[in-house]
């Protein structure tokens, strides 16, 4: 994986840990870098959700796509004094039928006191529906969480 970055070493280490945890579907590791009250906004549904909701979506993704990787990674620190960065990347992996997955995405990551506190993800909604068939909408995820 090639990473082009201008982040300071601490922020770069946080980014590496977070994206490795996401690729592995490792909720425990995600909780070591994202505050429990972290809010995540997705372009595919234009809603802000919490980590339990994201974990349901992540489980569906990991069940559908094997060998998830973030490739062609570019990270740029915010230049307005806000602590955080923008990352563009291509999510790659393999579907159970052997088809390759290649999904361009962009994320804005906001950091407070060394913790990720907000994520804004821009990704094609049709791709999300295809890759997470068990979690088509946040409403369905919310219903699942209510019955868990």
Reported as a single tens digit per residue, the pLDDT across 84-136 is 999 999 999 998 889 888 889 999 999 999 999 999 999 876 766 666 655 44
Q: What are the backbone angles phi and psi of residue 67, rounded to the nearest 5°?
A: 55, 45
Tell me what pLDDT residue 96 has. 83
Over range 70-78, report the average pLDDT.
Answer: 96
Q: CATH code at 87?
A: 3.10.450.50
Domain that holds residue 54: 3-136
Residue 35, in any domain of the structure: yes
Residue 141, in any domain of the structure: no
Residue 26, in any domain of the structure: yes
Over range 26-45, report the average pLDDT.
Answer: 94
Residue 143, in any domain of the structure: no
Residue 142, in any domain of the structure: no
For residue 128, the tally of other CB atoms under 10 A from its CB is: 22
Indicate the number of domains in the chain: 1
Distances (CA, A) of 148 to 39, 63, 80, 119: 21, 19, 41, 25
**Percent of the chain scored above 90 by pLDDT?**
61
Over range 60-83, report the average pLDDT.
Answer: 92
Distance CA 49, CA 51 (A): 7
């Amino acid at each position: 994986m090639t990473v082009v970055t201008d982040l300071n070493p601490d922020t770069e280490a946080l980014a590496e840990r977070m994206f490795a945890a996401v690729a592995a579907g490792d909720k425990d590791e995600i909780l070591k870098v994202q505050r429990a009250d972290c809010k995540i906004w997705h372009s595919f549904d234009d809603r802000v959700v919490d980590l339990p909701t994201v974990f349901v979506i992540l489980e569906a993704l990991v069940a559908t796509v094997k060998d998830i990787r973030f490739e062609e990674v570019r990270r740029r620190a915010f230049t307005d004094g806000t602590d955080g960065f923008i990352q563009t990347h291509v999510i790659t992996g393999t579907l159970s039928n052997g088809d390759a997955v290649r999904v361009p995405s962009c994320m804005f990551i906001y950091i407070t006191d060394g913790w990720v506190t907000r994520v804004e993800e821009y990704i094609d909604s049709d791709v999300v529906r295809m890759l997470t068939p068990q979690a088509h909408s946040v409403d369905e995820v919310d219903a699942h969480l209510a019955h868990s």
